[in-house]
A and B are shown apart, each in its own frame.
Chain A
Amino acid sequence: MAVTHNFRGLNEELRAIQLQMEEHARSYGLDMFTTVYEVVDAEQLSAVAAYGGFPTRYPHWRFGMEYEQLQKGYSYGLQKIYELVINNDPCYAYLLASNGITDHKLVMAHVCGHCDFFKNNAWFAHTNRHMIDEIANHGNRIRDYMDRFGVEEVETFIDACLSLEDLIDVHLPFIRRRDETKGYAFGGHKEDEDNEEEKQRELEQAAGTRFASKGYMDSFVNPKEAMAAEKKLRKEAASKKESRYPLEPQKDVLLFLLEHAQLKPWQVDVLSIIRDEAYYFAPQGQTKIMNEGWATYWHSTIMTRHGIAPSDLVCYADHCAGTLAGSRTRLNPYKLGVELYRDIEDRWNRGAFGEEYDNCDDWEAKRRWNKPTGKGREKIFEVRRVHNDLTFIDTYLTYDFCREHKLFSFGYNPENEAYEIESRQFQEVKERLLFNLTNMGRPLIYVRDANYKNRGELFLEHRFGGVELQSNYAQDTLAALFKLWKRPVHIETNLENETVVMSFDGKEHTSETHVSMAAT
Chain B
Amino acid sequence: MPATAHVRSRRLCFVIFASALLIGATMLPASAQKLSGNIRFTWWGSTTRNDKTERIIKLFEAANPGVTVTREPGEFNSYWDKLTVQSASGNQPCSITMQSRYLAQYADPAILKPLDDLVKAGTLDVRGVAPAVVDSGRGPDGKLYFIPSGVFYFTVLMNKTEIEKAGLQLPDDNWTWDDYASFARKLAAKLPSGTYATGNFGEAFDAFTNWVQGRGEVLFKPDGTIGVSKATIVDYFKYWEALRKDGITQPADKMAEIANNIIDDTLLAKGRIVMDARPANQLDAHQKVLNNAMPGQELVLHTYPLGPKGTGNDIGSNGFAIGASCDAASTRIAAAWSNFFLQDAQAAAIYLSDNGVVTVDKFRQDQGSNPKATPGQRQLISLYDRVAPTAKAAYFRARGYAAMQQSLTSAYQSVAFGRSLPEDAADALLRQVARQTKD
Tell whether A and B belong to one assembly. no
